[in-house]
Amino acid sequence: MKWMVVLSAAMLALAGNHAVAQEKQTVSGLLAQGYQVIHSEIGNPFLQFILKKENQLVWCSVLLQSGETSSCRTIK
């Protein structure tokens, strides 16, 4: 059940970010650059992702209600 919620929220995040300005990092933009989701967690009102590409880690927070990426920060 938890995976269904995570998958649904991830799909919202991917669908809702196409109109966002290019300078802001988004989950969909990072996935398009070859990043992979290595961890996801649901917390109200955010879905949080940790994405990895080579030796770089990025943490992103996505609003569950709208699917919009709230913020992304490089953590390593």
Position 76 confidence tier, pLDDT thresholds 50, 70, 90 = confident
Predicted confidence (pLDDT) at residue 18 exceeds the cutoff of 70: no
Give the pLDDT confidence of 22-68 residue by residue, as tens digits.
Answer: 578 999 999 999 999 999 999 889 999 999 999 999 999 999 999 99
- Asked whether the whole model's pTM tops 0.75, one would answer no
Predicted confidence (pLDDT) at residue 17 exceeds the cutoff of 80: no
Token pair for 64: 């569950």
- For the chain, the structural domain boundaries read 2-74
Q: Is 59 exposed, middle or buried (0-12, 13-18, 19+ CB in 10 A)?
A: middle
Predicted confidence (pLDDT) at residue 21 exceeds the cutoff of 50: no
